[in-house]
């Protein structure tokens, strides 16, 4: 059925148009006139946000049923556009003087967010790959945008090589799934499973599903596909790391939900035990490795691995409470990480090491307060969004009977308190050494800090209305 519906992808078209406009503007304007390119990028995200708001609540298929826009897709689009706006805010003046052509930088962010949006609306494994590559290829380049920095170039190369390898695994899995079912469309999977396979699960289908899961887990940074995360997050520009740790993580989990809860739901229950073990190992390894880190970016990279383990607990439970909790947690996680990296951006990367942050909490009380909010949220302390996110995740797991997995997660959260609160110990209980000072002209980053801190506290103090919204949107399970 040729149901080509441009309205379904209008927000993505807006982002792509603004990306090309930024490329052209960057090519034909002088470097000193590119200071406001972040405003043009935010305008693109704002327009896409408004169009998505107009579409929200509808259910639309498009392009031969390769797209499916529903409330889940609409909600994740809001998340991606919000992340894009916040990253655009913290990018200025951080990249000033470090990236010559800013048009390319913001264009890549726009294209990457468009790829994330495709992932949220994908109703076919082929379209899923297209969205994944649009997102990933942009991130590979963004990670190496500081061409004068060897670590940045190394991060880009490592992410590209390992990312290409994981995509190849994912596409091989898709080929196996197509060979077994004769379709890659989510709407036809159940029919093909009953008609072509008679309800049986041949080895070809199982192998394909396992390979697809491996490709998705790489993007999530779950064990044993986590090895790229510390080096890439440390080497990439801090604004790009904030984008990766929030946007890519959220897009990867929406991909997990679309593929295994909406698409390949006939085999998803066969994966529960595997994902349960991966979840427990992921959160444990991430927290243990973070304990010994002296570099804040590297510590946050390992903590992102641990948080992936926490969120996978929701996928293991696989009920409406846990799936809604995944969405809630991802939003809180994005806000607190972007906020934490905004503080590092204000210090212009001079605060990447714990020792360099010594005494900065009292010297710069606003930044100390902001970092306190974000670290408390990462630990999971009230009244923050991180606390409520973990509460809902664990609640869903307990409803499904996974008591021992919740116990492991709670113990890991207790362990994580050490390295998160250690940042605050250095900021407030060590003598100031003059190693860091906020950058000049930091108004956009300050705005981002205020917005993220308000968001984290709002989700922690008034979570019920938003959590009920995520539950209403999550219609994949009865």
What is residue 463's three-state secondary structure? coil
DSSP 8-state symbol, 259: I
Contact between residue 284 and residue 291 where contact means Cβ atoms under 8 Å apart: no
What tokens does 412 get? 């890991």
Question: Percentage of residues in the chain with pLDDT exceeding 70?
Answer: 94
Measure the CA–CA gap between 474 and 478, rounded to whole angstroms.
Answer: 9
- Is residue 2 scored above 70 in pLDDT? no
What is residue 353's three-state secondary structure? strand
- Is residue 284 scored above 90 in pLDDT? yes
- Is residue 478 scored above 60 in pLDDT? no
Q: Is the peptide bond before 93 cis (omega within 30 degrees of 0)?
A: yes
DSSP 8-state symbol, 32: G
What tokens does 418 get? 């050490």
DSSP 8-state symbol, 439: P
Domain ranges of the chain: 282-478
- Is residue 428 scored above 60 in pLDDT? yes
Lowest-confidence pick of 40-44, 162-166, 184-188: 184-188
Measure the CA–CA gap between 181 and 176, rounded to whole angstroms.
Answer: 9
Backbone angles phi, psi at 62, to 5 degrees: -150, 155
What is the predicted pLDDT for the residue at 282?
Answer: 93
Residue 324's closest CA among 471, 208, 448?
471
pLDDT tens profile 356-387? 888 888 888 888 899 999 999 999 888 999 99
Contact between residue 424 and residue 371 where contact means Cβ atoms under 8 Å apart: yes
What is the predicted pLDDT for the residue at 33?
Answer: 61
Question: Percentage of residues in the chain with pLDDT exceeding 90?
Answer: 38
Contact between residue 90 and residue 341 where contact means Cβ atoms under 8 Å apart: yes
CA distances to 72, 77, 247, 447 from 119, rounded to whole Å, are 11, 10, 12, 29
Confidence band (pLDDT; 50, 70, 90) for 346? confident
What tokens does 464 get? 């019920």
**Quick check: pTM over 0.75?**
yes
What is the predicted pLDDT for the residue at 391?
Answer: 92
Residue 139's closest CA among 126, 118, 155, 121?
155
What is the predicted pLDDT for the residue at 411?
Answer: 94
Residue 422's closest CA among 304, 303, 332?
303
Contact between residue 301 and residue 143 where contact means Cβ atoms under 8 Å apart: no
pLDDT tens profile 92-104? 877 877 777 788 8
CA distances to 36, 81, 184, 412 from 18, rounded to whole Å, are 14, 13, 31, 43
Give the H or E element holding residue 453: helix 443-461
Residue bearing the bigger pLDDT, 440 or 118:
118
Lowest-confidence pick of 11-15, 18-22, 199-203: 199-203
The answer to whether the Cα torsion of 190, 194, 198, 199 is positive or negative is positive
Residue 240's closest CA among 317, 156, 169?
156
What is the predicted pLDDT for the residue at 30?
Answer: 66
pLDDT tens profile 75-88? 999 999 999 999 99
What is the predicted pLDDT for the residue at 34?
Answer: 60
Contact between residue 304 and residue 245 where contact means Cβ atoms under 8 Å apart: yes
CA distances to 234, 235, 351, 432 from 295, rounded to whole Å, are 8, 11, 9, 18
What tokens does 301 get? 């990279």
- Is residue 32 scored above 70 in pLDDT? no
Q: What is the mean pLDDT of the chain?
A: 86
What tokens does 383 get? 């009244």
Average pLDDT over residues 47-55: 91
User: What pairs with residue 353 in β-bridges?
Assistant: 295
What is the predicted pLDDT for the residue at 199?
Answer: 65
- Is residue 208 scored above 80 in pLDDT? yes
What tokens does 105 get? 């930088």
Residues with Cβ within 8 Å of 89's Cβ and at least 6 positions away in sequence, in order, are: 38, 42, 444, 445, 447, 448, 451
Q: Is the peptide bond before 383 cis (omega within 30 degrees of 0)?
A: yes
pLDDT tens profile 230-274? 889 988 888 899 999 999 999 999 988 888 888 787 776 678 888
What tokens does 155 get? 């991060």
Measure the CA–CA gap between 87 and 74, rounded to whole angstroms.
Answer: 20
């Amino acid at each position: 059925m040729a149901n080509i519906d441009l309205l379904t992808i209008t927000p993505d078209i807006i982002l792509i148009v603004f990306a090309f406009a930024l490329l052209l503007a960057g090519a034909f304007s002088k470097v000193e006139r590119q200071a406001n390119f972040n405003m043009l990028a935010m305008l693109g995200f704002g327009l896409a946000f408004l169009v998505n708001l107009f579409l929200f609540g509808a259910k639309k298929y498009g392009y031969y049923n390769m797209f499916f826009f529903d409330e889940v897709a609409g909600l994740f689009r809001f998340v991606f556009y919000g992340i894009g706006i916040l990253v655009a805010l913290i990018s200025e003046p951080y990249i000033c003087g470090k990236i010559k052509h800013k048009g390319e930088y913001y264009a890549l962010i726009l294209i990457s967010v468009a790829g994330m949006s495709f992932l949220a609306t994908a109703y076919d494994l082929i379209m899923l790959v297209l969205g994944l590559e649009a997102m990933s290829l942009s991130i590979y380049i963004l990670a190496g945008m500081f061409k004068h920095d060897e670590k940045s170039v190394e991060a880009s190369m490592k992410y590209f090589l390992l990312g290409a390898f994981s995509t190849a695994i994912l596409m091989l899995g898709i080929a196996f799934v197509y060979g077994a079912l004769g379709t890659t469309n989510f709407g036809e999977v159940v029919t093909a499973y009953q008609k072509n396979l008679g309800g049986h699960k041949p080895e070809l289908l199982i192998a394909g599903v396992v390979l697809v899961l491996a490709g998705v887990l790489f993007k999530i940074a779950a064990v044993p596909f986590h090895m790229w995360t510390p080096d890439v997050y440390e080497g990439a520009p801090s604004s790009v790391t904030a984008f990766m740790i929030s946007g890519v993580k959220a897009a990867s989990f929406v991909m997990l939900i679309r593929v295994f809860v909406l698409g390949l739901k006939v085999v998803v229950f066969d994966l529960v035990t595997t994902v349960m073990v991966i979840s427990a190992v992921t959160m444990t390894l991430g927290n243990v490795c973070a304990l010994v880190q002296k570099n804040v970016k590297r510590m946050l990279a390992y903590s992102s691995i641990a948080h992936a383990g926490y969120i996978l607990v929701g996928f293991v439970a696989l009920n409406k409470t846990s799936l809604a909790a995944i969405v809630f947690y991802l939003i809180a996680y994005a806000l607190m990480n972007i906020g934490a990296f905004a503080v590092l951006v204000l210090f212009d990367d001079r605060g990447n090491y714990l020792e360099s942050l010594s005494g900065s909490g009292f010297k710069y009380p606003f930044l100390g307060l902001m970092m306190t909010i974000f670290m408390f949220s990462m630990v999971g302390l009230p009244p923050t969004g991180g606390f409520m996110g973990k509460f809902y995740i664990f609640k869903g797991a307990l409803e499904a009977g996974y008591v021992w997995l919740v116990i492991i997660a709670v113990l890991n959260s207790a362990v994580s308190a050490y390295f998160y609160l250690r940042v605050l110990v250095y900021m407030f209980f060590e003598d100031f050494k003059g190693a860091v000072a906020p950058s000049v002209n930091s108004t956009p980053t300050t705005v981002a800090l205020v917005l993220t801190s308000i968001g984290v506290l709002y989700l922690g103090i008034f979570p019920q209305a938003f959590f009920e919204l995520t539950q209403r949107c999550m219609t994949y399970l009865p």
